[in-house]
Structure 1
Amino acid sequence: MTGHLTALRAIILREALRFVHQRERFVAALVRPLVWLLVFAAGFRAALGVSIIPPYQTYITYETYIVPGLCGMIMLFNGMQSSLSLVYDRETGSMKLLLTSPLPRWWLLFSKLVGSTAISILQVYAFLAIAGAFGITPPWKGYLTLFPALVVVGLMLGALGLVLSSFIKQLENFAGVMNFVIFPMFFLSSALYPLWKMAESSELLYTICALNPFTHAVELLRFALYGQFNAAALGWTLLATVVFTCGAIYGYDPARGLKGRKG
């Protein structure tokens, strides 16, 4: 276990140092949700009034509704950026050095997940602090109950990023894959509008949104931020985490993954 913990600490420290040295990454992670919160929400407020729906006990503003979705956006983008670093590490050769470690490959991938999740959580709380300065504040206990939900969601999105990075050969191809994953997952979810609004316009889109694992991740964050437990959202999020993790282990299996491909 000493070797396992040493590897875990080293990988987390490497992720932290990379994050500290890339200050623009932290700024970008906050600018995206703040633009939605302060600019787009002002335009959508009248068009997308939100009625009383769980976990809210009264009518809420549109800004209040989208805060959990924007927290999910931060974690989604960070999970993809963490995967982007893996593609870069593969091109520079450091990934090969890491994966030739005598430690189990699943443990190395788990350590990577923990590191990226920790960074995502820091970014989310920084965003919530800024949102609070603009008067958008959940119950104080929500900041505590949100933490375990952030851990679960961060692991799920980080595992999804690992799956993508395991099948991407070159850094240049990653931007296109991100556009086909990040934006559909974000917009076809309950991050920006309730699912019942989507059902009013299209049953097909509603079904897609309901099957989107990011929708359940957002709902898990939404309920947790208001001190409530959503068992269905947790169950679907954990299921997606297991599926994505198994896919990442498969993709990084030397018999089928990196060593089995050329280029």
Structure 2
Amino acid sequence: MRGSLIALRAIALREAARFVRQRGRFLSALVRPLVWLLVFAAGFRAALGLSITPPYETYITYEIYIVPGLCGMILLFNGMQSSLSLVYDREMGSMRLLLTSPQPRWWLLLSRILASTLVSILQVAAFLGIAAGFGITFPALGYVTALPALALAGIMLGALGLALSSAIRQLENFAGVMNFVIFPMFFLSSALYPLWKMAESSAFLYGICAANPFTQAVEAIRFALYAQANLPALGWTGLWAAGFLALALWGYDPARGMLRRKT
């Protein structure tokens, strides 16, 4: 147990040090959702009507609605960028040193996901602080109850990125895969518009949005920010996290996974 905790601490410190050195990564993680919050929301406010649906008990502005989705955006992009660094580590050879550690491979990969999730949560906290400066706030207890939902969503998205990285041989290819994953997951979700609005437009797209793992993560965060538990969303997010993690472990298993094809 002590050795496992030391490995987790070392991986977390390495991820944190990399994040501190890459200040542009931190700024881009904040600028991206802030552009949506302050620019796009102003245009969508008049075009998109919102009704009173849980967890909201009254009419809300569009800016308040999209904040949980933008929190999910930060988790999604950071999870993918962290996995992108794994592809880079594999090309440079440092990934091999990590996987030859005496610690179990599954623990090393899980530690990498946990470290990435911690960095993502810090980014979300900074974003929520800036949003509060613009008058977009949530119940005080909600900032605390949102932490488990953010952690679960971060683990799910980090595991997805890890699974994708196991199947990519070159850094350039992973950047293309990210575009085919990030944007469909984000736009075909409840991050920018409620699902009932999508149902009015297309039943087919509504089904895709409802089945989207990112939708479940966003809804879990949305309810948690109001100190409420959306048990179905939390359950589905946990199931998707377990599935993606199992796929990642299989992909990084040299005997059976994707890494075997590269040797």
- Fold-level similarity (TM above 0.5): yes
How far apart are 1:6 and its partner, in Å?
Answer: 1.0
Matching residue's letter, 1:212:
N
**Inter-partner Cα distance in structure 1 for 2:105 and 2:45:** 48
How far apart are 1:109 and its partner, in Å?
Answer: 0.6
**Is 1:210 the equivalent of 2:213?**
no
What CA deviation, in whole Å up to 9, does each residue of 1:90-136 have, x standing for no partner?
Answer: 00000011111121100001100110000000000100000000000
**Inter-partner Cα distance in structure 2 for 1:260 and 1:51:** 52
* 8 A contact 1:49–1:61 mirrored in 2: no
CA gap 1:250/1:128 in 2 versus in 1, 3 angstroms:
same
How far apart are 1:3 and its partner, in Å?
Answer: 1.4
How far apart are 1:238 and its partner, in Å?
Answer: 0.4
CA gap 1:259/1:218 in 2 versus in 1, 3 angstroms:
closer
Q: Which runs of 5+ in 2 are unaligned?
A: none
SS of corresponding position for 1:169: coil
* 8 A contact 2:55–2:223 mirrored in 1: yes
SS of corresponding position for 1:141: helix
**Inter-partner Cα distance in structure 1 for 2:246 and 2:175:** 24
**What is residue 92 of structure 2 aligned with on the other side?**
92
- Identity within the alignment, %: 75
TM-score (ref. length: structure 2)? 0.99
* 8 A contact 2:251–2:259 mirrored in 1: no
Q: How does 1:27-46 map to 2 (within 5 A)?
A: 27-46=27-46
**Inter-partner Cα distance in structure 2 for 1:160 and 1:108:** 16
**Inter-partner Cα distance in structure 2 for 1:187 and 1:63:** 16
SS of corresponding position for 1:192: coil
What CA deviation, in whole Å up to 9, does each residue of 1:119-171 have, x standing for no partner?
Answer: 00000010000000000001111101111111111110000010000001000
**What is residue 159 of structure 2 aligned with on the other side?**
159
* 8 A contact 1:142–1:226 mirrored in 2: yes
Query: CA RMSD for the aligned pairs?
Result: 0.8
* 8 A contact 2:83–2:165 mirrored in 1: yes
**Inter-partner Cα distance in structure 2 for 1:83 and 1:257:** 17
SS of corresponding position for 1:229: coil
**What is residue 126 of structure 1 aligned with on the other side?**
126
**What is residue 50 of structure 1 aligned with on the other side?**
50
SS of corresponding position for 2:262: coil
TM-score (ref. length: structure 1)? 0.99
Q: How does 1:5-44 map to 2 (within 5 A)?
A: 5-44=5-44
**Is 1:191 the equivalent of 2:191?**
yes
Q: When the two structures are aligned, how many residues end up with a matched partner?
A: 263
**What is residue 172 of structure 1 aligned with on the other side?**
172
Matching residue's letter, 1:53:
T
* 8 A contact 1:8–1:111 mirrored in 2: yes
Q: List 4+ stretches of structure 1 deviating above 3 A.
A: none
